[in-house]
Structure 1
Amino acid sequence: MVGGGILGLAVAWELTGRGVAVTVLEKEDRWAAHQTGHNSNVVHAGLYYAPGSAKARMSVTGNRSIVDFARAHGVGVEVCGKLVVATGEDELPALGVLAQRAEANGVPAKLISREEALDYEPEVSCVRALRVESTGIIDFPGVCRALVRLLTEAGADLRLNTPALGIRAGRGVEIATGSEVLRADALVNCAGLHADRIAELAGITPRARIVPFRGEYYQLRPDRRHLVRGLIYPVPDASLPFLGVHLTRMLDGSVHAGPNAVLALRREGYRWRDISPADLVAVARFPGTWRLARRYAFPTGLDEVLRSLSRRRFAASLARLVPAIGPGDIVRHGSGVRAQALFADGSLVSDFLIETAPGQVHVLNAPSPAATCALEIAKHVSDLVTTS
Structure 2
Amino acid sequence: MGRVRRDIPYDCDVLVIGGGIVGLSTAYAITRAAPGTRVIVLEKELGPARHQTGRNSGVIHSGIYYRPGSLKARYAVRGAAEMVKFCAEYGIAHAVTGKLIVATDRDELPRLHALVQRGRENGIPVRELGPTQIAEYEPEVRGLAAIHVATTGVCDFVGVARQLAEASGAEIRYGTKVTYIDRRPDLGVAVRTGDGTVVRARVMVNCAGLHCDEIARLAGDEPGMRIVPFRGEYYSLVRPSLVNGLVYPVPDPAFPFLGVHLTRGIDGGVHIGPNAVPALAREGYNWTTVRMRELGATLAWPGSWRIARRHWRYGGGELRRSASKAAFTEAVRRLLPAVTPDDLVPSAAGVRAQAVLRDGTLVDDFLIREGARTVHVLNAPSPAATASLPIGREVGRRVLGALGRA
Class of the TM-score when normalised by the shorter of the 2 chains? over 0.9
Residue 32 of structure 1 is matched in structure 2 by: 49
* Contact 2:100–2:247, Cα closer than 8 Å, also in 1: yes
Which runs of no fewer than 5 residues in structure 1 stay unpaired? Answer: none
Whole-angstrom CA distance in 2 between matches of 1:147 and 1:58: 18
Residue 68 of structure 1 is matched in structure 2 by: 85
* Contact 1:241–1:350, Cα closer than 8 Å, also in 2: no
Q: Which amino acid aligns with 1:286?
A: W
Whole-angstrom CA distance in 2 between matches of 1:376 and 1:276: 34
| CA distances 1:196-238 after superposition (whole Å, capped 9, x unpaired) | 00000000001111000000110111xx111100000000101
- Choose which of 169, 175, 188 in structure 1 pairs with 2:191: 175
Moved beyond 4 Å, runs of 4+: none
Residue 249 of structure 1 is matched in structure 2 by: 264
- Choose which of 253, 273, 278 in structure 1 pairs with 2:293: 278
Residue 4 of structure 1 is matched in structure 2 by: 19
SS for the counterpart of 2:311 is helix
Whole-angstrom CA distance in 2 between matches of 1:138 and 1:105: 22
Whole-angstrom CA distance in 1 between matches of 2:375 and 2:136: 47
Q: Does 1:336 align with 2:321?
A: no
Whole-angstrom CA distance in 1 between matches of 2:114 and 2:231: 28
Residue 6 of structure 2 is matched in structure 1 by: none
* Contact 2:126–2:147, Cα closer than 8 Å, also in 1: yes
Q: Does 1:365 align with 2:382?
A: no
Whole-angstrom CA distance in 1 between matches of 2:160 and 2:215: 25
- Choose which of 149, 159, 165 in structure 2 pairs with 1:132: 149
- Choose which of 135, 151, 166 in structure 2 pairs with 1:118: 135
Residue 304 of structure 1 is matched in structure 2 by: 318
* Contact 1:11–1:378, Cα closer than 8 Å, also in 2: yes
| CA distances 1:113-157 after superposition (whole Å, capped 9, x unpaired) | 111111000011111101000000000001012112223xx3x21
Whole-angstrom CA distance in 2 between matches of 1:322 and 1:387: 51
- Choose which of 228, 243, 250 in structure 2 pairs with 1:235: 250
Q: Does 1:287 align with 2:302?
A: yes
Q: Does 1:320 align with 2:334?
A: yes
Taking structure 2 as the reference length, what is the TM-score of the superposition? 0.93
Whole-angstrom CA distance in 2 between matches of 1:225 and 1:385: 45
For the aligned residue pairs, the C-alpha RMSD in angstroms reads 0.8
Show the 5 A alignment for 1:3-152.
3-17=18-32, 18-19=34-35, 20-151=37-168
Q: Which amino acid aligns with 1:256?
A: H
SS for the counterpart of 1:355 is strand
Which runs of no fewer than 5 residues in structure 2 stay unpaired? Answer: 1-15
| CA distances 1:75-106 after superposition (whole Å, capped 9, x unpaired) | 00100000000112221111001111111111
Taking structure 1 as the reference length, what is the TM-score of the superposition? 0.97
Whole-angstrom CA distance in 1 between matches of 2:139 and 2:105: 17
Aligned sequence identity (%): 51
Q: Which amino acid aligns with 2:237?
A: L
Shift of 1:30: 1.3
Whole-angstrom CA distance in 1 between matches of 2:138 and 2:151: 17
